[in-house]
Copies of this chain bind each other. A is one copy, B any other.
Amino acid sequence: MTDLFLTPRLKPILEQVQKFMREEILPLEQNFPHDWANIAPALEAKRTKIRALGLWGLHLPATLGGMGLSLTEFGQLSEVLATSPLGHYAFCAQAPDIGNTELLHQFGTEYQHHTFLQPLAAGKIRSCFAMTEPEFAGSNPTNLATSAVLEGEEYVINGHKWYTSSADGASFAIVMAVTNPENAPHARASMLIVPTDTAGFRIVRNISVMGEAGTGWLSHAEVMFENCRVPQTHLIGEAGKGFNLAQHRLGPGRIHHCMRWVGIAERALDMMIRYAMKRELNKGETLAQQQVIQHWIAESRANINAARLMVLDTARRIDAQGAASARSEISAIKFFVPKIMLEVLDRALQVHGGLGMSDDTLLAYWYRHERASRIYDGADEVHKTALAKQIFKGYEK
């Protein structure tokens, strides 16, 4: 791992987090990815320890009781957390809550801070984010049928969402809905906070994804909003600014995802190396002596190094100049990193043979679920076209 982005204040934190992951989190993996109800209490206990160690809030600003690290610094921690599928949750830095936290922190009202943000940042509640609709391709986010009509001082929401991740057990959802249908496409939608116990909020099902419907944090819901009423005070920012907020939410969000993918790739590479060095083909002859496997390891090492540098250089740019100025870099990492992660996972699985197909390691879990990295938050194809168009704009000048 390059030390190019390592800051003096980050160094000791990084070491503590690495130690905690190794000693406290990885041993929990043997219960994963089984039932959420089964694993949640153990994770709660780890959170208590994390607080006691002063490691709470790696991603939070000081005003929310956090460490106030830069995105570039947090990115390096996020990679470490991602080496286990339980890391981010243990440190309360898990999606989608981390994105909602950032959003509410930047754009929420005092009421919203007090009611929703503070318990969220404290890890007392969970939240979800309802944007994608099954009827519309995600590549054009302005295609949106969910409406929120202002009646008196209440918004009445109707619509159909899916892939509302972690809705099961969440206390509130942030919902994207059309409030200003008369506006231009990008100025039609708003974001609204909907407590999940509001009448008219209904989880249709936890979608079976890659064979698993999951529960709790580990699930992706299909949700109906049926005359679901929330007070006007639940509007985040201004009406019609939903897409601007989404851009803000997605900028650092993509860094979070990308660093998570780097961490997964790093872990998979580590597993591949260890297994190759141990597994014998014949007496005294290990997989590590196979030239093809050596080359997979070398290529994986180089690719992960590249991915990390790309993501952290993008984080640096966001820290320095804001997400808007790093738009091209963000598009680039969004398709660059998943390709590398999925390739490393595929090779690690292949090296493990039958064991790799089984759930006796985490490789099969990541192999099937992280396939979504090329789809959510914009499919590869969308980001590639977006980047090309940005480049063309530069040339038109």
Contact = CB atoms under 8 A, between A and B. Distances in A.
A274 B359 CA distance: 33
B210 A364 contact: yes
A107 to B, nearest CB: 26
Interface in A346-386: 349-350, 353-360, 364-365, 367-368, 371-372, 374-376, 379-381, 383-386
A170 interface: no
A4 B315 CA distance: 12
A144 B114 CA distance: 65
Interface in A197-228: 207-212
A282 B144 CA distance: 11
Nearest to A280: B137
Interface string A275-298: 001011110000110111111011
A354 B138 contact: yes
Interface of A: 2, 4, 33, 132, 134, 137-140, 143, 162-163, 207-212, 273-274, 277, 279-282, 287-288, 290-295, 297-299, 301-303, 305-307, 309-310, 313, 316, 328-329, 331-333, 335-336, 349-350, 353-360, 364-365, 367-368, 371-372, 374-376, 379-381, 383-389, 391-392, 395
Given A332-B302, A364-B210, A371 B357 contact: yes
A354 B279 CA distance: 36
A295 B381 contact: yes
A384 B333 CA distance: 24
Given A305-B310, A349-B371, 9 more contacts: A209-B359, A290-B291, A294-B388, A295-B385, A295-B388, A298-B331, A302-B310, A350-B379, A368-B368
A274 B395 contact: yes
Contacts of A332: 298, 301-302, 305
Contact of A384 (B294, B336, B375, B383): B294
Given A4-B316, A295-B381, A385-B291, A162 B354 contact: yes
A272 to B, nearest CB: 10
A86 to B, nearest CB: 17
Nearest to A269: B391
Most buried by B among A355, A360, A375: A375
A313 B309 contact: yes
A311 B200 CA distance: 56
Nearest to A287: B137
Contacts of A163: 354
Contacts of A353: 137-138, 375, 379
A115 B163 CA distance: 52
A140 B295 contact: no
Contacts of A376: 354
A350 B374 contact: yes
Nearest to A5: B4
A74 to B, nearest CB: 18
A380 B139 CA distance: 27
B134 A335 contact: no
A190 to B, nearest CB: 22
Contacts of A33: 211
B381 A371 contact: no
Contacts of A364: 209-211, 368
B359 A210 contact: yes
A333 B2 CA distance: 14
Contacts of A386: 298
A340 B374 CA distance: 20
B356 A375 contact: yes
B391 A301 contact: yes
12 contacts: A33-B211, A137-B287, A163-B354, A207-B360, A209-B358, A273-B391, A288-B392, A294-B388, A302-B336, A353-B375, A357-B372, A357-B375
